[in-house]
A and B are shown apart, each in its own frame.
Chain A
Amino acid sequence: MKRRLKAGKSRNSGFSLNLMTDDEIHEIHLATLQLLKSTGVFVENEKALEIYHGAGCTIDAKTKTVKIPPHVVEDAIYTAPATFVAYGRNPESDVVLEDNRVTFTNFGEGIMFVDPETGEYRDTTKKDIEMASRLIDYLENVETYERAMCSHDKPPEVQAIHNAEASLTNTTKHHWLGPVNGFQLEKIVDICTAITGSREKLRERPLLSFTTCPISPLKLTDHHCEIIMGAAKHGLGVNVIGMAMSGGSGPVHLAGTLVVQNCEVLASLVLSQLSQKGVPFMYGSSTCPLDLRRATATVGSPETGMISAAVARLARYYSLPCFVAGG
């Protein structure tokens, strides 16, 4: 039987979630803009305060509160790239992150370890990171590497550098590393420069991005600002992971927690884009409710999935690549 082509019918390209309507997303956005303008965020870093001030934000020097006018936020959203290429050490490990493309990565950062040989429950070590990153290098469905554990066996001041060395030598996949502060960030950039051969090559194919977290509610610490500005200086991506915990550091209602987190991430985005227009930025989130009866973080709760899905939807609304918790 002849079956002629059908004229342009609409097709679904797979399963997806109907989550919030455009109107609802818009409400979250408007609530965020209002709060950034009227409540503001606490910013601990002097240089960052200056940058915000230079762009037209209102600064209260005594309380270190920054109030950001809506147009500054909208500008930053506009200048951040919609596509984020998570470059690997070799081109085979490159992964494109943008609107709706889904990939998986491991959890980070674990501080305790169940030893696979002895079954012992103990502190994590640098050696464990080496093993974990080599395993992740092998796993096809784990497409990038987030610092999986921390080197408890190294001095706290330089742990992040050891963490970086341990994994950079064991997997070619893109790294999401927490440098803790500006000092260690510079050292990690040096290590990466040694790998790529030069700063220019690192800029061309940045094999790592830095992760950093605001403190909820609405606080950008000194180190957080250092990392955002440091990454911008080197043209490296920054992954700002909001961690507002509903019921603890955010309102119990998920919509309210989304707003708090959105304020923190967008305030960080503003700093990033004011430091260097167009520098890659990931909208990150790793949050869950605080179980108010047991006072524990409930990463296994349905709300964890719900809020992560909502963050992903919100990031798509901003055309920003995103990084959320799940699994």
Chain B
Amino acid sequence: MRRRFRSGISSSSGLGLSSFSVDELDSIHYATLQILQNTGIKVMNEQALEVYYSGGAVVERHEGYGIVKLPPHLVEDSAYFTPHTMVYQARNPDDDYIVEPNRVGFATFGGCINVVDAYTCKIRRATKKDCGEIIRVCDALDEIAVATRSVNSTDVMEKAQSLHNLDAMIRNTGKHIVLGADSVASLEAMVDLAAASVGGRDVFEKRPIFSVSVCPISPLTLGNLACEVIMACARLGIGIVILPMALSGGTSSASLAGTLVSHNAEVLSTIVLAQLLKRGMPCTYGSTSTILDLRFGTSAIGSPEYGMINASLARVARYYRLPSWVGGGATDSKEADIQSGYEANLSATLSALSGANIIFGAGTLEQGMTIDYAKLVMDAEMLGMIHIARSGVVVNDETLSMDVIHEVGPGGAYITHEHSLRSMRSQSQVKLFDRHSREDWKEWTQGKSITERACERAIDLIENHVPYALPEGAPEAMQEIVDAFEVQMGKNG
């Protein structure tokens, strides 16, 4: 039967979360502007206060800090000047990741201190070796879009930790890297290190392969280190991910909307500083905010509120057309168990459907303290499922399959129809998860749990995955930079 095209019907491009009306987003925005203008933020760095002041902010001086009050136009201008589309450049150009509103990708949590060993399945302090090996696994997993500093190298000189983290990461991934910096000196060494890994400073300036995460301190405070790092990033041409962790009920209002407002104020005031320093500086709207569980005194990143807050903030970021980097996929559970699966899926799904650019949380347990190889590998499979679901039900003449339905007729079989064979690849597939019948399941798993199978996969990747090669001489040059920095730090302290 002939079916001519229908003229311009509206079609959907997948599943999306409807969270706020435009009126509600406006309300959050206005409330934020008022807080920034009337309450202001506490800034603990003299030079940053100067920058704010010369940009048109009102600065009230106090002993050791200043209160910065921002006029609305300055805030709106700054959000406008921030790039609305950008690329997280990767050492391997194939891994370049475009961030602009609604493109969804995933990453691991950042800054865990423990690791559940893939070989022994026991928990222990994370080392530089782990930092590298986790990233190697992430490098192999398609679902992980960018590499986050998942664990800290707790076995190295404390003052050189972030440099060691970057060293371990560059050696193990071709993807864009996001991590924190301990100090400006450290950041400068990190740039040298990254430049050495890509073949020179000029190459790095064109393609900065890492971004730096900076954390305002809730409520409404920009600490000295954060200011120093932002100013150094502006000078060095590095993008920042602004990552407040407001705890609703602890460091922000017990109401979620109130938390969104103060969080938003923290991000936007940081963006103002960045844009005053360098108009067009890449800034990513981040969040790892959640609730403080007032009964247990813990930051509950497995709670439904974690997903709600982060999905909402991803929506707020889209309102400003800013790239976003929010939480999702983490758990409060101490093991990669059923609780961890439920919690991780809920927050990751909410944030993904809300159109966050990066959702970080894969592999994380225990309020973000611990990373688990098995969960990382299992999460990757879950994230693949979320991607499938996000693509939604496609409605067009081909998918409505009317001729096929007519041909098969009442009581017929589709499985033998040519159309089924042709369309088979549109179905989702599993690698690690199980879809067998009970009998086949017994044979396929050989009695091994999914956690054991996930660990085996992680070990396979640790031992056999080969990351994107470094240029000749780069590994040695990088080692020299790390050694020299340790000597420098040792002398100073």
- A contacts, CB < 8 Å to B: 6, 9-12, 15-24, 27-28, 31, 34-35, 38-42, 65, 215, 217-219, 246-256, 258-260, 263, 289-294, 296, 298, 300-303, 305-307, 309-310
Contacts and interface: CB of A to CB of B under 8 A. Distances in A.
Nearest to A251: B401
Nearest to B419: A251
Contact of A217 (B308, B414, B426): B414
- Please list the 4 inter-chain residue pairs (A to B) with the smallest Cβ-Cβ separation, ordered nearest first: A256-B401, A42-B410, A9-B23, A218-B410
B400 A28 contact: yes
B17 interface: yes
B12 A24 contact: yes
A27 B414 contact: no
A260 B405 contact: yes
B311 interface: yes
Interface stretch (B106-114, B127-135, B389-397): B389-397
A141 to B, nearest CB: 13
Given A252-B426, A259-B401, A289-B427, A294 B436 contact: yes
B489 interface: no
Nearest to B23: A9
A28 B420 CA distance: 20
A39 B407 CA distance: 9
B16 A18 contact: yes
A296 B9 CA distance: 36
Interface string B1-33: 000001001111001111111111011000000
Interface centre among A22, A289, A290, A303 (most CB of B within 10 A): A303
A310 B399 CA distance: 14
A295 to B, nearest CB: 8
Given A20-B393, A253-B401, A293-B429, A41 B410 contact: yes
A252 B424 contact: yes
Contact of B385 (A17, A249, A302, A307): A302
Contacts of B389: 302, 305-306
A124 to B, nearest CB: 15
Nearest to B307: A15
Contacts of B19: 12, 15
A255 B394 CA distance: 6
Contact of A35 (B394, B399, B405): B405
Contacts of B429: 293
Contact of A27 (B9, B26, B392): B9
Nearest to B415: A248
Contacts of A42: 410-411
B86 interface: no
B397 to A, nearest CB: 9
A11 B394 CA distance: 29
Interface centre among A260, A296, A302 (most CB of B within 10 A): A302
A258 B393 contact: yes
B393 A40 contact: no
Interface centre among B6, B350, B423 (most CB of A within 10 A): B423
A300 B23 CA distance: 38
24 contacts: A10-B24, A11-B21, A15-B350, A16-B18, A17-B18, A20-B393, A21-B11, A21-B12, A28-B395, A35-B402, A248-B413, A249-B414, A251-B399, A251-B401, A252-B424, A252-B426, A254-B394, A292-B415, A293-B429, A294-B437, A301-B385, A302-B385, A302-B389, A306-B392
A301 B404 CA distance: 24
Contact of A292 (B17, B385, B420): B420
Contact of A251 (B20, B22, B405): B405
B359 to A, nearest CB: 16
B408 interface: yes
